[in-house]
Chains A and B, each alone.
Chain A
Amino acid sequence: MTEWVLHSGARPGGVARAQIRAVGLALRGPAMVAGGVLVLATALAVADMRGSTGFNFHPERWMVPGLSGLLLPMAVWRGEERFGPGFLWTLPVDRRGHALAKVGAGWVWLMAAVALFVLWLLAVALASGGNVLGPETLRMIPPLPYPGDGGLNPAAITPTAWTPNPVLWLVPFTAATAMYLLSSALALATPHPFRWLAGVLLTFFLIAMVSDAADADGVAQIPEYLVSLLVGGRYGLESVLIASTETLKVETRLTTGEMAVVWRGLPDPAQWARSTLLWTALAAAALWAAASRHRETRRA
């Protein structure tokens, strides 16, 4: 007599490995492009090193990891029918868990890519004789008042010794993670993420345009205020992406007519950690909510 035996489901470890392999294969194209860009950047860096004082190792000042995290979900979900009877959903794994496993697989590759990028920066710094962990002298200016049209008085600049904090080397990893989670949440939340992005941008633009035409300054400032809060605010994206180094470090004209790079403040690891925790938690919650759109059962 035939014995009917039901099959057990997929093993979580096997699913994770399969997704890492599958996403790795999907990322081969973008990885080759990124590799080419890195080779080109190395050539440019080598050319730039001649006669320069060296390239200091500051991975926290690079936007590249965060932007990569933002764009990576496009490659991770390439060809996957996220909304519909796609191949991924035909496999014997809980759908929400499966979506998160795919996101996790992409994150593993992202971290590997960021690690390579940081190592590349370190190699360039070491090869050029730049500083890695030694003290640096930053030209500090008081945060306020801002230099007027006449330029900054050189007397206001105070040379300050600052030792890079290795904790900030984590910035590329955390920035890439937060942006990747946010972008993955968007990819899983809607079948048309770019339409939503375009819609938001268009709305901001229209508000600004209409309020400008109507001379309603208060309304016109709302989008501007929101953007500045979102990007450059205390807990803004800039803090997450580059530990606010772009806001703190400015190039300004001195009263002598020269251009100088000065610092309004020192990078604050505690501030960066708070912003990163906030954005990562928000992104993780958004990702969970978006992945839940694909769960097996829904409440009636």
Chain B
Amino acid sequence: MSPLHPEPGAPAVATRGLHKRYGRETALAGVDFLVPEGAVYVLVGANGAGKSTTFKVLMNLERPDAGTAEVFGVDAGRGGPRARAQIGYVPEHHGPGYRWMTCGQLLRHAAAYYPSWDAAYAEHLGRALGLKPHRRAGTLSKGENRRLQLVMAMAHRPPLLLLDEPTDGLDPVIRRRTLALLADHLADTPTTVVVSTHHVTEMETLADHVGVLREGRLVAQMPRDELQRTVRRYRAGVPDGWTAPPGLPQARRSRAGRELQWTLVGEPAELTARLTAAGAEVREVTTLGLEDAALAFLAEEDTV
């Protein structure tokens, strides 16, 4: 059988106008998600922002109320099995499958579903993550379950990894090892990764794209370089009674003495000029780490 290639130029993941409601709760409100092929895309958002729902829609585990979702050009709704064949999925909830099976049995079971399953690689991952093949899945701790899920997701070397809180429940040593394995995996295998995580700093060295979900809306989506170029911390001295110029992008503000500090989103030169024109003396513009930059989009209120 000749190998299947993705549509030329098709992104790894693309959703258009994705809507999903659970009763009165809106989980997704018009999400246009775009993950380029080969990207390591970190999806950030508070609990209930819609990250896991997005993953479930891509797996066709949830049907959207409106909109489409594609994986390498394959419609996840119409071509669910074909889309899932491209995905290694670590779900948010713990429990990798059948509790009565041992880890080894579960891995053999999963292998039957993926013609590209690499048994030697599965063994390597299992060893590296300290999995015990004879342990029953039902007796595994939260962290051990996570490790088993990671092996099941990566061992068939899927073109797309959907990792929903992949390091949740892992101890610091295994967490570091997992990230190292993921880096090795990316070096060895052509893979696009979408990671949903609350620990953005962990992905600092790997991430090259960031998306921020807030209450079901994708409020930011950009390459990491652009994020770190456009989201910066500004420290400025201001005269008494100074009021911020109208239209200044909303961001976190803190006061230290007669200085104000903002995390602002926008072109640095333009923002500096606007602050200066408003009478503020911009003293420092600082580049932020990935997490702080992403969190700027989640800030709700000024903290004066």
Residues of chain A at the chain B interface (Cβ within 8 Å) = 2-11, 14-15, 17-18, 21-22, 25-26, 28-29, 78-80, 85, 87, 89-95, 296-298
Contacts and interface: CB of A to CB of B under 8 A. Distances in A.
Contacts of B72: 4, 6
Given A79-B99, A91-B113, A4 B81 contact: no
Contacts of B198: none
Contact of A2 (B38, B77, B81, B112): B38
B86 A7 contact: yes
B172 to A, nearest CB: 28
B267 interface: no
Interface in B146-176: 156, 158-159
Given A79-B99, A90-B89, A85 B56 contact: yes
A5 to B, nearest CB: 4
Closest 8 CB pairs of A and B: A18-B112, A92-B85, A85-B61, A6-B4, A92-B84, A296-B80, A87-B97, A10-B113
A6 B89 CA distance: 16
B105 A8 contact: no
Nearest to B98: A79
Contacts of B105: 25
Nearest to A27: B100
Contacts of A91: 84, 110, 113
B59 to A, nearest CB: 6
Contact of A15 (B37, B96, B112): B112
Interface of B: 1, 3-6, 37-38, 56, 59-63, 72, 74, 77-78, 80-82, 84-86, 89, 91, 93, 95-101, 105, 108-110, 112-116, 156, 158-159, 190
Contact of B6 (A4, A10, A79, A298): A4
Contact of A25 (B56, B89, B98): B98
B65 to A, nearest CB: 10
A87 B38 CA distance: 26
Contacts of B89: 90
Contacts of B112: 10, 14-15, 17-18
| Secondary structure type dominating chain B contacts | loop
A94 B115 contact: no
A89 B83 CA distance: 12
A7 B114 contact: yes
A174 B212 CA distance: 57
A22 B109 contact: yes
A87 B113 contact: no
18 contacts: A2-B38, A3-B5, A3-B190, A4-B5, A4-B190, A6-B159, A7-B4, A7-B114, A7-B115, A8-B115, A15-B112, A85-B59, A85-B61, A90-B61, A90-B89, A92-B82, A92-B84, A296-B80
A72 to B, nearest CB: 16
Contacts of B82: 6, 9, 92
Contacts of B190: 2-5
Contacts of A2: 38, 190
Nearest to B105: A25
Given A17-B112, A79-B98, A92 B5 contact: no
Contacts of A10: 81, 85, 112-115
A235 to B, nearest CB: 39
Nearest to A296: B80
Contacts of B86: 6-7
A2 B116 CA distance: 17
Contacts of A3: 5, 190
Contact of B115 (A11, A29, A80, A93): A11
Contacts of B3: 5-6
B99 to A, nearest CB: 5
Contacts of A80: 98
Most buried by B among A85, A87, A89, A92: A92
A94 B38 CA distance: 27
Nearest to B87: A92
B1 A21 contact: no
Nearest to A16: B112
A87 B96 contact: yes
Given A4-B159, A6-B72, A79-B99, A90 B91 contact: yes
B84 A90 contact: yes
Contacts of A95: 80
A93 B113 contact: yes
B286 to A, nearest CB: 35
Contacts of A298: 63
A291 B9 CA distance: 37
